[in-house]
Amino acid sequence: MANDAQPGPGQIGWIDLTVPGAEAVRDFYQEVTGWTATPVAMGGYRDYCMVAASGQSVAGICHAQGVNAGQPPVWMIYIVVADLDEAMLRCQARGGKVLRTPAGAGAGNRFCVIQDPAGAVAGLLESRSESV
């Protein structure tokens, strides 16, 4: 995950699309939006950081494998939280579910995936680095 300005708690920190056949989807969005792709090594395969014409990193397109196995094929927002463990407890206390327990997201970042009481899915991102 990368971004040019570090978002604070409560802000959208990142968006990812995790799908089978990430290369075809990467190519689709390059043609439709004008984004370019920067490969991100994932230990045996590559995901993609999508970059706008301005040079700003705007999204990720990821393979549905490795750390992304089991992610739904939807644009997933990641909301920045100050304390991931506390946010997960608050989620569950308020009728939500933790669908994916915390995993590393590079440079000291951690994320999880939650479902709110209405059934909507989002990621929570705790950033411990200078860039998300």
pLDDT digit string (tens) for 56-76? 999 999 999 988 888 888 899
CA pair distance 22, 44, nearest whole angstrom = 14
pLDDT at 129: 59
Determine, yes or no, domain membership for 38: yes
Residue ending a domain, among 73, 93, 124, is 73
20 vs 1, higher pLDDT: 20
Determine, yes or no, domain membership for 85: yes
Mean pLDDT over 28-33 rounds to: 96
The structural domain count of the chain equals 2
96 vs 106, higher pLDDT: 96
**pLDDT for residue 4 is more than 60:** no
Instruction: Return the closest-CA partner of residue 22 out of 62, 76, 80, 69.
Output: 62
At 21, the amino acid letter reads G
Using pLDDT thresholds of 50, 70 and 90, give the confidence band for residue 1: very low
Whether 64 and 90 map to the same domain: the answer is no
